Amino acid sequence: LEANPRASRTVPFVSKATAVPVAKAAARVMVGESIADLRAEGILPAHGDGGSMPHGSAISVKEAVLPFGRFHGVDTVLGPEMKSTGEVMGIDDSFGTAFAKSQDAAFSGGLPMSGTAFVSLANRDKRGAIFPIKRLSDLGFRIVATAGTAAVLRRNGIPVDELRKQHEGRGPQGEPTTVDAILAGEIQLIVNTPYGVGPRLDGYEIRTAAVIRGVPCITTVQGLAAAVQGIDSLQHEEPGVRTLQEHAADLNRLRAAADIEEGR
């Protein structure tokens, strides 16, 4: 999860995901109780450290809540600075649905299920993005891209329309730039892996327009792959809802069944 887990965020997430009250167990160990005592009481699992999940467990996804909508003009590319104002989580049997739930909780509107996806990729990311973009096209999205990215996508058999870069300005027939299309509400999903950070770069203008219009903006190939899985899941199944108590009860049943199967 991270190199310096904090009790205020990561520990509660791990506790909810694993149904193990980590903070309570740690506090009681600090005042002299043994792990064996906590196992006997049911605070800790009877076997293992709680991190080993039984087969069939749900998948949990943690997502940061970022307040860019309140600060127009701030670049959404992440760096070492602490920018998040909270975190949410999505839980489901499949990664795609769990990820989609986390996005719905973190951002207004969540992931789009249809529409037009704009793609502008740094050279280093073009090869790795081909498969998820192809899948996005297969899911019914219209793909638009800047010239360099569009050429790569066409060579790999992906239907794509071109948009002009922001610094190129509008075309001789009034063809819109990428930012024009975003601000006009013509784009439902943006994939923009940055070439750098700074107000003079096209990527900055694209990401700023995305914030203004509230359009999901993905800045890594890994994030793109996860988002495509989420969209795929949303198109093929209705997300279910369970309480954390139900999730914990399911995990405890799975752990008990695993213990019986292994003869413990």
Is 50 exceeded by the pLDDT of residue 198? no
pTM: 0.85
Residue 264 located in a structural domain: no
Domain containing 144 equals 112-236
Q: List the alpha helices (DSSP H) in 42-168.
A: 95-106, 126-138, 147-155
Average confidence (pLDDT) over 118-139:
94
Select from 256, 259, 252, 239 the least CA-distant residue to 61: 239
Is 60 exceeded by the pLDDT of residue 93? yes
Same structural domain, 48 and 124: no
Residue 176 located in a structural domain: yes
Same structural domain, 19 and 131: no
Pairing of strands 142-145, 116-120: parallel
Same structural domain, 44 and 118: no
Residue 12 located in a structural domain: yes
How many structural domains are present in the chain?
2
Which one has a higher pLDDT value, 107 or 51? 107
Same structural domain, 131 and 48: no
DSSP state of 63: E
Residue 102 located in a structural domain: no
Please answer whether residues 103 and 30 qualify as being in contact, where contact means their C-beta atoms are separated by less than 8 angstroms.
no
